[in-house]
């Protein structure tokens, strides 16, 4: 999650639905019609890098401290709706994470940090462990000598970027180990 | 909206990264001059917006809350663009560093121009940077650590003598340890330390 992390930057550009808590003139371009003010209670899809900050800093601060509303209110995106969470709970390995989002884990981490969402973290923990076992199985199966195509089936198509990296790393390490054992 | 342009740039960087990982060699695609320039123009515009907002704010201080939001969004957009640009450039310079370590520094540092395959795809500043970085490596190697070849092979030596086959005709080549007559498809039984450089340069193939 460093500043220069390409995957992190891409994950940050995911759009999340937001509701504006105050009307702001001049920000119409966020909604798609430039030149118009953005109305209170209107909904817009904002990229996470923008929404994350706007959801934290407040419109009113010192004068009336009891209602410190942030500029926008984040709404739960489809990605973390209870429908998806139920699907994860029922069978993590058969879930197509890639079609949900290419950066599912990174987004989930950001989301859970933003809301201190303990439930989400629990679900993700079990999901991660279950899927890691499957990833390990696939990484372990090395096709007979120097077959380039990975015919590990459709499971690999459902990995998100983070899991892909784990898969790639563990696969190469298994492969290197094997070739070292055989040739030397 | 703002930030979409730089997204394209980051995607480009991602593609380059994957290409490098899959082919296990350093390869730099064209420098995206247009995209970078357009992003810079966008930042310029955002800056003008921010200044305008600021002067407006000074004129009538009533709408502080709204102005703050606008100002903030503008700043965030700039921040985002900056991050994208920096990440793109960082990835490229990392690749350049790897190139400088792997390819240059071979033998008595050969002239830069000869070894450079990707010269055309570098921006002017990157060429400059590569040159300077190579110089830094050379300086370090000629400084304290002269008896260690820092840019040498990282695979631990396992054999003292190895069989090598010549892949390219190169005539007679003078190395630090003696003279080899490299004729295509001939074979040598040589000390590994002597021929390591030639293997790195692609004249020899290890058997």
Range of the domain at B120: 4-142
Residue A81 lies in a domain: yes
Looking at the complex, does the CB of residue B50 fall below 8 Å from at least one CB of chain A?
A: no
Q: Please compute, for residue A162, the number of CA atoms within 13 A of its CA located in the half-sphere on the CB side.
A: 17
Closest CA in chain B for residue A71: B69
Beta carbons of B73 and A6 less than 8 Å apart: no
pLDDT band at residue B158 under the 50/70/90 scheme: confident
* Nearest-CB residue to B14 (from A6, A12, A26): A6
Looking at the complex, does the CB of residue B129 fall below 8 Å from at least one CB of chain A?
A: no
**Contacts of residue B8 in chain A, CB cutoff 8 Å?**
none
Indicate if B133 and B191 belong to the same structural domain.
Answer: no
Whether residue B157 is predicted with pLDDT greater than 80 in this model: the reply is yes
Beta carbons of B7 and A10 less than 8 Å apart: yes
For residues A10 and B14, the answer to whether their CB atoms sit within 8 Å is yes
pLDDT, residue B37, reads 92
Residue A8 lies in a domain: no
Indicate if A54 and A85 belong to the same structural domain.
Answer: no
User: Got the DSSP string for B34-102?
Assistant: HHHHHHHHHHHHHHHHHHHHHHHHHH-TT-HHHHHHHHHHHHHHHHHHHHHHHHHHHHHHHHHHHHHHH
Indicate if B129 and B194 belong to the same structural domain.
Answer: no
Probe site for chain B from A22, A25, A26, A34 (most B CB atoms < 10 A): A26
- The CATH number covering residue A63 comes to 1.20.58.2050
Probe site for chain B from A48, A50, A180 (most B CB atoms < 10 A): A50
Summarised one tens digit per residue, pLDDT across range B77-136 is: 999 999 999 999 999 999 888 888 876 545 434 444 444 454 567 888 888 898 898 888
**Contacts of residue A60 in chain B, CB cutoff 8 Å?**
65
Q: Rounded to 5 degrees, what angle do the CA atoms B108, B109, B115 make?
A: 130
**Contacts of residue A35 in chain B, CB cutoff 8 Å?**
none
Summarised one tens digit per residue, pLDDT across range A13-56 is: 988 888 888 777 777 677 666 667 777 788 888 889 988 888 88
Indicate if A60 and A81 belong to the same structural domain.
Answer: no
Look up the ipTM and state it: 0.82
Looking at the complex, does the CB of residue B90 fall below 8 Å from at least one CB of chain A?
A: yes
**Contacts of residue B7 in chain A, CB cutoff 8 Å?**
10, 13
**B112-120: long-range pairs with CB below 8 Å, 24+:** B118/B27, B118/B28
Distance of CA A96 to the CA centre of its chain: 13
Q: What is the mean pLDDT of residues B158-182?
A: 78
Residue B96 lies in a domain: yes
Indicate if B106 and B52 belong to the same structural domain.
Answer: yes
Tokens representing A145? Answer: 């000598």
Indicate if B114 and B39 belong to the same structural domain.
Answer: yes
Indicate if A61 and A80 belong to the same structural domain.
Answer: no
Beta carbons of A53 and B72 less than 8 Å apart: yes
Looking at the complex, does the CB of residue B75 fall below 8 Å from at least one CB of chain A?
A: no
Tokens representing B130? Answer: 């590569």
* A111 DSSP 8-state letter: H
Tokens representing A38? Answer: 């953005």
- The CATH number covering residue B66 comes to 1.20.58.1030
Indicate if A100 and A170 belong to the same structural domain.
Answer: yes
> Which of A30, A54, A75 corresponds to the end of one domain?
A75
More confident residue, B197 or B126: B126
Looking at the complex, does the CB of residue B71 fall below 8 Å from at least one CB of chain A?
A: no
Beta carbons of B65 and A60 less than 8 Å apart: yes
Q: Whole-angstrom Cα distance, residue B192 to residue B153? A: 11
Indicate if A175 and A141 belong to the same structural domain.
Answer: yes
The rounded average pLDDT for each run of 10 residues, N- to C-terminus, in chain A (184 residues) is: 88 88 74 72 86 77 57 86 90 87 90 88 92 88 57 75 90 89 80
Indicate if A42 and A105 belong to the same structural domain.
Answer: no
Indicate if B19 and B93 belong to the same structural domain.
Answer: yes
A63 phi and psi, to 5 degrees? -60, -55
Indicate if A70 and A145 belong to the same structural domain.
Answer: no
Looking at the complex, does the CB of residue B52 fall below 8 Å from at least one CB of chain A?
A: no
What's the total number of domains in chain B? 2
Beta carbons of B69 and A25 less than 8 Å apart: no
Residue B150 lies in a domain: no
**Contacts of residue B2 in chain A, CB cutoff 8 Å?**
29
Indicate if A61 and A89 belong to the same structural domain.
Answer: no
pLDDT, residue A143, reads 66
Indicate if B87 and B181 belong to the same structural domain.
Answer: no
Looking at the complex, does the CB of residue B77 fall below 8 Å from at least one CB of chain A?
A: yes
Looking at the complex, does the CB of residue B31 fall below 8 Å from at least one CB of chain A?
A: no
Q: Whole-angstrom Cα distance, residue B133 to residue B112? A: 12
Work out the percent of chain B whose per-residue pLDDT is above 90.
13
Looking at the complex, does the CB of residue B19 fall below 8 Å from at least one CB of chain A?
A: no
Tokens representing B73? Answer: 């969004």
Residue A6 lies in a domain: no
Location of structure tokens 């808590």: A21
pLDDT band at residue B32 under the 50/70/90 scheme: confident
Q: Whole-angstrom Cα distance, residue B115 to residue B76? A: 42
pTM of the model: 0.83
* Nearest-CB residue to B14 (from A10, A26, A54): A10
Q: What is the mean pLDDT of residues B18-46?
A: 84
Beta carbons of B14 and A29 less than 8 Å apart: no
Our CA-based measurement puts residue A172 at a distance from the nearest CA of chain B, in whole angstroms, of: 11
pLDDT, residue B119, reads 59
Residue B151 lies in a domain: no
Beta carbons of B80 and A22 less than 8 Å apart: no
Residue B153 lies in a domain: no
Residue B170 lies in a domain: yes
pLDDT, residue A127, reads 92
Range of the domain at A53: 15-75
């Amino acid at each position: 999650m460093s500043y220069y992390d390409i995957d992190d930057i891409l994950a940050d550009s995911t759009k999340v639905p937001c509701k504006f808590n105050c009307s702001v003139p001049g920000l119409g371009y966020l909604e798609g019609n430039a030149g118009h003010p953005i109305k209170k209670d209107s909904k817009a899809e904002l990229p996470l890098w923008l929404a994350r900050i706007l959801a934290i800093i407040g419109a009113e601060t010192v004068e009336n401290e009891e209602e410190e509303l942030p500029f926008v209110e984040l709404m739960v995106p489809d990605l973390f709706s209870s429908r998806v969470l139920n699907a994860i709970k029922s069978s993590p390995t058969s879930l197509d994470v890639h079609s949900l989002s290419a950066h599912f884990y990174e987004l989930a981490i950001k989301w859970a940090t933003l809301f201190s969402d303990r439930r989400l973290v629990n679900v993700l923990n079990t999901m991660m462990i279950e899927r890691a076992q499957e990833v390990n199985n696939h990484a372990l199966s090395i096709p007979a000598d120097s077959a380039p195509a990975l015919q590990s089936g459709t499971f690999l198509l459902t990995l998100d970027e983070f899991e892909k990296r784990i898969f790639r790393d563990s696969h190469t390490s298994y492969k290197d180990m094997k070739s070292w054992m055989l040739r030397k | 909206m703002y930030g979409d342009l730089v997204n394209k740039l980051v995607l480009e960087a991602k593609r380059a990264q994957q290409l490098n990982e899959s082919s296990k060699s350093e390869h730099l695609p064209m420098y995206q001059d247009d995209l970078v320039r357009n992003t810079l123009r966008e930042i310029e515009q955002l800056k003008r917006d921010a200044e305008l907002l600021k002067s407006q704010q000074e004129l009538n201080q009533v709408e502080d809350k709204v102005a703050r939001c606008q100002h903030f969004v503008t700043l965030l957009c700039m921040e985002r663009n900056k991050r994208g640009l920096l990440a793109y450039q960082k990835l490229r310079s990392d690749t350049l560093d790897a190139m400088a370590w792997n390819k240059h520094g071979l033998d008595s540092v050969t002239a830069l121009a000869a070894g450079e395959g990707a010269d055309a795809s570098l921006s002017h500043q990157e060429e400059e940077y590569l040159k300077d970085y190579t110089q830094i490596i050379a300086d370090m190697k000629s400084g304290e650590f002269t008896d260690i070849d820092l840019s040498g092979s990282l695979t631990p030596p396992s054999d003292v003598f190895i069989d090598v086959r010549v892949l390219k005709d190169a005539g007679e080549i003078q190395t630090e340890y003696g003279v080899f007559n490299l004729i295509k498809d001939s074979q040598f039984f040589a000390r590994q330390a002597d021929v390591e450089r030639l293997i790195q340069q692609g004249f020899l193939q290890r058997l």
